[in-house]
Amino acid sequence: MIFESHAHYDDEQFDIDRDTLLEGLTEEGIEYIINVGANIKSSYECVKLAKKYDYIYAAIGVHPHDVKHMKEQDLESLIGLASYDKVVAIGEIGLDYYYDFSPRETQKLWFREQIKIAKDLELPIIIHSRDAAKDTFDIIKESEAKQVGGVVHCYSGSYEMAVEYTKLGFYIGVGGVITFKNANKLKEVVKKIPIDNILIETDSPYLAPVPNRGKRNDSSNLKYIAQEISNIKNISYDDVINLSNKNAKRLFRID
Ligand code: NI
């Protein structure tokens, strides 16, 4: 069975057919989904979805795009939400220097603060990092986030950096980008990193893999991602599904 480690089914793109779609995903072989928050409002929505569906778990947190408005009391909201036992991670949190929607110093501040609460709550973190590889890794290291571990979602860094993350016990999240023709750097990472360090994800509704590139993404597309990993690593499709499933259960402490 497939473990979807990163999706945003609270996104408004799913408003027209959310329930029908989610109910159909078990038939597509999906066992569990982590629905990931991006701000306080969506974190509440993640918990709502986790309450409604047995196979959905929640991650809660504020994305670097949204931290420009973050306040101390938002940390309290996250801590309160985390008391629900199907909240299994803090995320997505991190740094985004590609869009720079929030000032960089503000991004760093709230990244550190949210790592702090993850450590207090003993929850792993889901990291978003874009064009900010060095600062992200430095903060992970100096804040001793390895105590809780986590996953670098939609990994886009170098192989060398991926090795450093795995040394700290972090997983590498691999999504639709792996099926893109120009994804040579990511293909190298996937080839060389042990399957024991890889999680698979869609980041739905974004980043649909080939052959559905450009369309709305959903977890039924994970098969294309797993197939590509299987080709690159020269291991069976079933091994990719089963081992990445095991990795996700270990990280998020699910059954
Ligand atoms: Ni995401």
Q: What's the pLDDT band for 6 if we cut at 50, 70, 90?
A: very high
Of 51, 52, 73, which Cα lies nearest the Cα of 62? Answer: 73
Model confidence pLDDT, tens digit, residues 154-184: 999 999 999 999 999 999 999 999 999 999 9
**13, 205 contact by CB (below 8 A):** yes
**242 CA distance to ligand 1 middle (Å):** 23
Task: List 7's β-bridge partners, or say none.
Answer: 35, 204
Share of the chain above pLDDT 90, in %: 100
Q: What is the separation of C-alpha 145 from the centre of its chain, rounded to a whole number of angstroms?
A: 16
**pLDDT at residue 93 is higher than 90:** yes
Cis ω before 205 (30° cut-off from 0): yes
**89 CA distance to ligand 1 middle (Å):** 13
DSSP 208-247: PPTTSTTSPP-GGGHHHHHHHHHHHHT--HHHHHHHHHHH
In the structure, ligand 1 is a single-atom ion and the residues with CB under 5 Å from it are: 203
**229 CA distance to ligand 1 middle (Å):** 20
**155 CA distance to ligand 1 middle (Å):** 11
94-to-26, 63, 71, 97, 114 alpha-carbon distances in Å: 31, 7, 16, 10, 9
Model confidence pLDDT, tens digit, residues 29-41: 999 999 999 999 9
**40 CA distance to ligand 1 middle (Å):** 14
> The dihedral of CA 7, 251, 140, 209: what is its sign?
negative
Of 147, 143, 145, 150, which Cα lies nearest the Cα of 124? Answer: 150
Q: What's the pLDDT band for 77 if we cut at 50, 70, 90?
A: very high
How many Å is the maximal CA-CA distance in the chain? 49
**38 CA distance to ligand 1 middle (Å):** 7
Model confidence pLDDT, tens digit, residues 196-243: 999 999 999 999 999 999 999 999 999 999 999 999 999 999 999 999
Whole-model pTM above 0.95?
yes
- Residues counted in the chain: 255
Share of the chain above pLDDT 70, in %: 100
Structure confidence at residue 186 (pLDDT): 98
Category of 140 on φ-ψ map: left (φ > 0), alpha (ψ -120 to 50) or beta: alpha
Structure confidence at residue 255 (pLDDT): 82
List of domains in the chain? 2-252 (3.20.20.140)
